[in-house]
Structure 1
Amino acid sequence: MSLSPSTLSPPPLSLYVHIPWCVRKCPYCDFNSHQGRGELPFAAYVDALLADLDLDLPLVWGRTVQTVFFGGGTPSLMPGELIDRFLQGASSRLRFAPGCEITLETNPGTVEHGSFKAYCDAGINRLSFGVQSFDDGCLQRLGRIHDSSEATAAIKLAQDAGFDNINLDLMYALPGQNLAMAESDLEQAFALQPTHMSHYQLTLEPNTVFAARPPSGLPDEDGSWDIQEHCQAMLADAGYRQYEVSAYARPGRECVHNLNYWKYGDYLGIGAGAHGKITSGHDQSILRRWKLKHPAAYLEAADSERGIGGDELIATERRPFEFMLNALRLVDGFSLTGFEASTGVPRSAIQAQLQEAVQKQWLLVDGDAVRPTALGRRFTNDVVELFLTG
């Protein structure tokens, strides 16, 4: 596959910050999260994050950060004043765009009113609540530390503190859940008037407790599909437009940070186990970098290159697959011009795969625009695999 150097240009840049600790690791979770024991070293961790950022700065000199996202773990365990110290340090090192979207993932069982005010004062302007369900039995079976009343109270407290851009995470096809229970979850979510909803199926990921010991009472494939179709209709009727496989938003309230991922944008990843992707225009390269995974090892090494877990230059041949892995999650798809600019690969290199996907009624191609059909969205993995070479 030939590289077209003139077409590869750096896309928008985001900053991802990983907070690795949680109160208790959920049995379905495959993220880099570690149960906190005793007093957690958050002040030292902020120092490590800023040192980590300093080492990555040469990769992005002169570029502007469009979004910041604190993920975990449970970022809402970190005190607001330390979030503030980090953001002040980061914005003194990097140019933040005016109105930069800054999201904090939040566990409803870990925050109080004072915390929300402190987060708001620090510059957080978007919250993502990991509710998962409003059914207490489902929450217990998922190993969550909150109940439905705590979730409702936390969201209302956040709104009282001034947050008007709030995402709720809800899962479906849960142990012991039927269609009526999934409907009830959405109805209770709608009553809280979030601006964004993430609605996704519980999956048994490798190396999790649920993968080793699957819970009883999981809906079968047909039951899960019925829940998905019915809930998608409910979300649409409530004014939430689906713009990605599991993301629904009020008009203009799509998650800008996640959109950057799905459009094959760039992002610095700092914190234990964080991953980043950076495009370099001058040498036409795309670099993936990741950091040491275990918090103790990361804290000890973050101020030197020993904190870097690894670097990988993405081969030209793999870029179409990586691009499609993200872009085909979007309901509106992508442009071929954007594909060329983001990958440095000419559209002619993927013409055969596009034609096959069109013949299978998985994709629609209209001039420069490519988007998945409803059938294609059901078989996203199969569509993406067409672009996997070697």
Structure 2
Amino acid sequence: MLTPPPLSLYVHIPWCVRKCPYCDFNSHENKTGGALPFQAYVDALLADLDFDLPLVWGRTVHSVFFGGGTPSLMPPEFIERFLQGASARLRFAPGCEITLETNPGTAEHGRFELYRAAGVNRLSFGIQSFDDGCLQRLGRIHDSAEAEAAVKLAQDAGLDNLNLDLMYALPQQSLAMAERDLERAFALQPAHVSHYQLTLEPNTLFAARPPSGIPDEDNSWDMQEHCQALLSAAGYGQYEVSAYARPGRQCTHNLNYWRYGDYLGIGAGAHGKLTLGAEQAVLRRWKHKHPATFLAHAGSDAALGGDERIPSERRPFEFMLNALRLVEGFSVAEFEARTGLALAAIEAPLQAAYTAGWLDRTGERIRPTELGRRFTNDVVALFLDD
């Protein structure tokens, strides 16, 4: 039987200063450099939330995540207005984690105090690298000095729950350069580090025109293993494929995704996933991607990009696609509650994974092995419904 899991709220801010050549997210350059319609966009976000509210009556929100785009382009007063409106419509859990993705190139002195006053209690900085050459090749709008200054400004403002995003296997990056990136990150003492490999996603500039000097598979794997050891030695425990945290500082919002939890997706191009207990159904819903279309139709059916009820035979794949990214894996009870299926429904692929040495079961908990974490895509593919 499907049991509604914890609920999160994802809020998409679609604008950025400049589209990065590796980015495949729904982000739109502010090409004119003029004022963005934040007042109207907050109105649209609240209308969008009102439209989705009947799907989550009575449920508590455990985390809020402002993603993008570049959410830190939105001034604090608009973040505050949205949060006030959202908390008037939904019950926020005590100590609700509220994250704002932040581009160091948009940080301004004094603004972090205002974001904190607005209710933001966690920042995720898109650093990517502390090497100025790498940053230029990635098309970032900040340099390493601006990155360090932005993090210190946030800390001075009393925000200590900080994530730093770093990438490795960058164009013309060596193992020593990847190590120096982590050393500079450690010096800033963040609570959390996201460390992930550059990938050439379809429909990006890098996919159409790959940059030179990208490390090959063997060198990329060497970087990953070496950096994992450095992160562990510095006190950052790996709890997901690319996520490392100090004790007690794992990201509540992302953990909910990976545990196949529920989330409302609000804003242009936002995706949501909801468990409908009365219908015993899992619903995926997404909104129109273009900001102008979303602004024109928010709060109505016309703002929907689509709705889909996930058939029961596809739920094991969706569940594993998330849960097998976690070092902790999942419990039998979690699988059955989140998918509405008995574990027996996936006995054959589970046995294949045990035999290959990709998964291990201890009591009621099933975890990916070290080998399984290296071949996550292969493990997950076992659970595809043919």
Displacement of 1:113 in angstroms is: 2.4
Alpha-carbon displacement from aligned partner over 1:48-97 (angstroms, at most 9, x marks no partner):
00000000000000000000000000000000000000000000000000
What secondary structure sits across from 2:284 in the alignment?
A: strand
* Shift, 1:155, TM fit: 0.3
Looking at structure 1, the residues matched to 218 and 312 of structure 2 have their Cα atoms a distance apart, in angstroms, of: 39
The offset of 1:382, in angstroms, is 0.5
- Would you say the 8 A contact 1:199–1:247 is kept in 2? yes
Partner Cα separation in structure 2 for residue 220 and residue 234 of structure 1: 21
The Cα shift of 1:303 comes to 2.5
Once the two structures are superposed, residues 127-151 of structure 1 have per-residue CA deviations (whole angstroms, 9 ceiling, x without a partner) of 0000000000000000000000000
Matched, 1:264 2:260: yes
Separation in structure 1 between the aligned mates of residue 315 and residue 216 of structure 2, nearest angstrom: 35
Structure 2 counterpart of 1:62, from 48, 51, 58: 58
Structure 2 alignment gaps of length 5 or more: none
Aligned counterpart, 2:292? 296
Paired residue for 2:322?
A: 326
Q: Within 5 Å, which residues of 2 pair with 1:105-144?
A: 105-144=101-140
CA contact (8 A) 1:113 1:158 kept: no
What's the CA shift for 1:352? 1.1
Once the two structures are TM-superposed, the CA of residue 331 in structure 1 deviates from its matched residue by: 0.6
Task: Please name the residue that 1:16 is paired with.
Answer: 10
SS of structure 1 residue aligned to 2:196: strand
Counterpart among 18, 26, 29 of residue 35 in structure 1: 29
Q: Distance in 2 between matches of 1:372 and 1:309?
A: 35
After TM superposition, the structure 1 = structure 2 runs for residues 1-390 of structure 1, keeping only pairs within 5 Å, are 7-36=1-30, 37=32, 38-390=34-386
Preserved contact between residue 290 and residue 308 of structure 1 (Cα < 8 Å): yes
Cα distance in 2 between the residues matched to 1:286 and 1:262: 16
Distance 1:153 1:251 in 2: 25
The residue identity in structure 2 corresponding to 1:148 is S
Aligned-pair CA distance for 1:30: 0.2
TM-score calculated relative to the size of structure 1 = 0.98
One-letter code aligned to 1:17: V
* SS of residue paired to 2:221: helix
Q: Verify the 8 A CA contact 1:28 1:203 in the aligned structure 2.
A: yes
The alpha-carbon deviation at position 159 of structure 1 amounts to 0.2
**How many Å apart are 1:280 and its aligned residue?**
1.1
Q: Secondary structure at the match of 2:23?
A: coil
Number of equivalences: 384
Q: Distance in 2 between matches of 1:367 and 1:356?
A: 18
Q: Verify the 8 A CA contact 1:10 1:279 in the aligned structure 2.
A: yes
Distance 1:380 1:295 in 2: 34
Kept in 2, the 8 Å contact 1:113–1:161? The answer is no
Q: Contact conserved, 2:23 with 2:201, CA < 8 A, in 1? A: yes
Query: Counterpart amino acid of 1:31?
Result: F
DSSP 3-state at the match of 1:113: coil
C-alpha displacement of 1:367 = 2.1
List, as ranges, runs of 4+ consecutive aligned residues in structure 1 with deviation greater than 3 Å. none
Work out the CA distance in 2 between the residues paired with 1:113 and 1:357: 52
RMSD (Å), alpha carbons: 0.5
Does structure 1 conserve the Cα–Cα contact (< 8 Å) formed by 2:49 and 2:299? no
Q: Distance in 2 between matches of 1:310 and 1:114?
A: 40
Distance of 1:190 and 1:115 partners within structure 2: 24
Q: Which amino acid in structure 2 is aligned with residue 389 of structure 1?
A: D
- The unaligned stretches of length 5 or more in structure 1 are 1-6
